[in-house]
Amino acid sequence: MHRLDAELVGNRRNFVALLLGCPRELGRDNIRVNALAPSAVLTEGAREFFAEKAEKALDTIRLGQAIARNLNPSDLLGAVHWLVSDSSQLVTGQTIAVDGGTVMH
């Protein structure tokens, strides 16, 4: 595993651990804690992360999704709008996958 990959995995695990504890504690004050888990989003940062392997990596990710297209930042807006709206008042402690069907339950 590449050093940067290991750091990314470690950071995600730390984030998930934080997400597990906060909703119960903050829910007492009606504060909701949720996360978005997107697939690779077409941004300058993603291209920098993958560097010279960007095109191949993004193609591989896209082909692994049920809806085979790479995500744009705007693809996350619907989930964000819903999470900050009153329609999701009782949604907390959830990780919402916006990933074109990479992860299916």
Q: What is the pLDDT along the chain (105 residues), one digit of tens a residue?
A: 455 555 555 666 777 777 778 898 999 999 999 999 898 999 999 999 899 999 999 999 999 999 999 999 999 999 999 999 999 999 999 999 999 998 876
Determine the Cα–Cα distance for residues 89 and 31; give it in Å rounded to an integer.
Answer: 9
The structure tokens listed for 59 are 């193609």
Amino acid, single-letter form, for residue 38: P
Structural domains in the chain, CATH included, are: 3-98 (3.40.50.720)
H or E stretch covering 9: helix 3-27
